[in-house]
Amino acid sequence: MNYTSGFTLKPDATGMILEMYFSGESESTSRISKIFTAVFGRLGARVTRKFMAKDFEDIAAKAESLAGK
C-alpha cells in the first residue's frame, strides 16, 4: 500500500479551518490483494477515522490552550 496524508489550513471568518486528508492506494493488482482490500478495507477505514478524530481533538486542545496565552 502507498499511503498519503496531510493537513490544509484555510482562513475562516472566525479563525482557521483545519482539514486533513488521507488515502491509500494498493500497488498490487493481484486477485488476493483485491480480496484482502475488499474484506478488510472498511475496517481499516473505520480505524483510520478514529485515529484522525483523536488527532483533531489533540490539535484543537493545543490550539485552544495557546490562544488563551
- Cα separation of 53 and 55, whole Å? 5
Return the CA Rg of the chain.
17
Residues 1/27, Cβ–Cβ less than 8 Å: yes
Q: Is the pLDDT confidence value at 62 over 70?
A: yes
C-beta neighbour count of 60 within 10 angstroms: 11
Q: Is the pLDDT confidence value at 58 over 90?
A: yes
| Confidence at residue 69, expressed as pLDDT on a 0 to 100 scale | 66
pLDDT digits over 11-56, tens only?
Answer: 999 888 999 998 888 787 888 888 888 888 888 889 989 999 999 9
10: which strand partners? 17
User: Model's pTM, two decimal places?
Assistant: 0.66
